[in-house]
Amino acid sequence: MRPIRPLEFLLLEIVIYLLLWLFNDYLASLLSLIFGSICLLILLISLIVEAIERSKVPRWYYLFLGVSVLAPIVAAVIYLLLSGGASWLQQ
């Protein structure tokens, strides 16, 4: 079995987030903000710790965290462009 690459992981996450956006855009917006923020904070803390003291954390860890930050943003932009906006904002 070959390892999954960051681009494949990005596409998989985008598909999952888009399905969530299609199912319930309010829940998707909340989860996108929460998961994206958590991954961003973990990435920033990891980079700061790595700058202070070198560790043996592999490069793919940072790539996957970066992809996990980028995926909800890309999925939200795609959904909002295709649908014309979030339904819960248009009341």
DSSP 11-41: HHHHHHHHHHHHH-HHHHHHHHHHHHHHHHH
Please report the pLDDT score of residue 89 as a whole number. 65
CB neighbour class for 21 (10 Å; exposed up to 12, middle 13-18, buried from 19): buried
Q: Is residue 11 part of a domain?
A: no
Domain assignment of residue 62, yes or no:
yes
Q: Has residue 52 been placed in a domain?
A: yes
Q: Write out pLDDT tens, residues 16-58.
A: 999 999 998 889 999 999 999 999 999 999 999 999 998 888 8
Model confidence at 61: pLDDT above 60 = yes
Tell me the pLDDT of the chain averaged across its residues: 89
- Say if CB 70 and CB 37 are below 8 A apart: no
Asked if residue 7 is part of any domain, the answer here is: no
What pLDDT sits at residue 86? Answer: 66
pTM of the model: 0.84
Which residues form the domain of 39?
29-84
Question: Is residue 75 one of the residues assigned to a domain?
Answer: yes
CA angle centred on 9, ends 6 and 10, rounded to 5°:
85
Number of domains observed in the structure of the chain: 1
Which pLDDT score, from 0 to 100, does residue 64 have? 93
- Residue of 49, 71, 68 lying closest to 60 (CA atoms): 68
Q: What is the pLDDT of residue 56?
A: 87
| 90 inside domain | no
